[in-house]
Amino acid sequence: MEREIDLKAVSDGRLYGANDMVKADCGDCEGCSACCRGMGTSIILDPLDIFRMTGYLNCSFEQLLEERIELQVVDGMILPNLKMAGADEACSFLNREGRCTIHPARPGICRIFPLGRLYENGAFRYFLQIHECKKQNRTKIKVKKWIDTPEAATNEQFICDWHYLLKDAERVIQEKKDDEVSKNWNLYLLKLFYMKPYQMGEAFYPQFYQRYFEAREVLERL
Ligand code: SF4
Ligand code: SF4
């Protein structure tokens, strides 16, 4: 999801790469779970998130949809997001002690928080959201370490490729101005990247890219 933001207002004005040090480390969060509550529909899930979650929970995408996640339209694309529910609008993976019960398989947006991503010229860099994390006196940590994601370079490429596939699709759909084309593309995207199960015993990225190149070809022909 791409949003117009005033970087000066929401960040420390700097952009960070994977090897930079950033003041994002809130320690162990120490009982705080503020960013797991009241997040609305903002924790949008990409195919890697679904691969991780369905593997960790040994369930299907459809089972996640029953109560854990929901679908929304983001810039013309139908995408899943973590569902916040209950009086305190909490993520369903948050336990009573305020801990994430899927920590090893938590989504990418949860991993980078309080960092955000700024996409530019086919790439992205991180920015530090200074008003989001409730913890005072955060310490410095290398971005790569904070994000805690294996195969960092491959992961960055995946994040970019996924983002720009959605952006290109959004542009094409807008140009077509055809509800049927939009509906068919969205169903195709949802089935191909989210509903079609991934092989859990195999690496994610080769499986993703097989689907990605197929989707690129389909998009070309729209
Ligand atoms: S998945 Fe875990 S880290 Fe992410 S919002 Fe839910 S409880 Fe918090
Ligand atoms: S707001 Fe900051 S300290 Fe609180 S749970 Fe989120 S990352 Fe941790």
What is the residue with the minimal CA distance to atom 2 of ligand 2? 133
Q: Are 79 and 93 in contact (CB under 8 A)?
A: no
- pLDDT of 27 over the 90 cut: no
- Six-digit token string for 112: 């980078």
What is the residue with the minimal CA distance to atom 8 of ligand 2? 29
Q: Are 194 and 60 in contact (CB under 8 A)?
A: no
Looking only at Cα atoms, what is the longest distance across the chain?
Answer: 52
Residue listed under structure tokens 């970019």 = 160
Q: Name the E strands within the chain.
A: 21-25, 69-74, 77-82, 84-85, 90-91, 115-120, 123-128, 139-142
Nearest atom of ligand 2 to the alpha carbon of 113: 7
Q: Are 121 and 115 in contact (CB under 8 A)?
A: no
Nearest atom of ligand 1 to the alpha carbon of 103: 2
Ramachandran angles phi, psi of 120, nearest 5°: -155, 135
User: 127: helix, coil or strand?
Assistant: strand
- pLDDT of 23 over the 90 cut: yes
Every domain of the chain and the residues it spans = 8-221
pTM assigned to the model = 0.94
Residue listed under structure tokens 């729209």 = 222
Digit-coded pLDDT (tens) for 81-122: 999 999 899 999 999 999 999 999 999 999 999 999 999 999
Q: Are 34 and 161 in contact (CB under 8 A)?
A: no
The residues facing 70 across adjacent strands are 81
- Mean of the pLDDT values across residues 57-84? 95
Ligand 2 centroid to Cα of residue 134, in Å, is: 6
Nearest atom of ligand 2 to the alpha carbon of 30: 3
Digit-coded pLDDT (tens) for 187-204: 999 999 999 999 999 999
Ligand 1 centroid to Cα of residue 172, in Å, is: 33
Does the C-beta of 44 come closer than 6 Å to ligand 1? no
Ramachandran angles phi, psi of 200, nearest 5°: -70, -25
Gap between the Cα atoms of 221 and 26, Å rounded: 47
Q: Mean pLDDT in the chain?
A: 93
What is the residue with the minimal CA distance to atom 8 of ligand 1? 36
Residue 88 buriedness (CB in 10 A; 0-12 / 13-18 / 19+): exposed
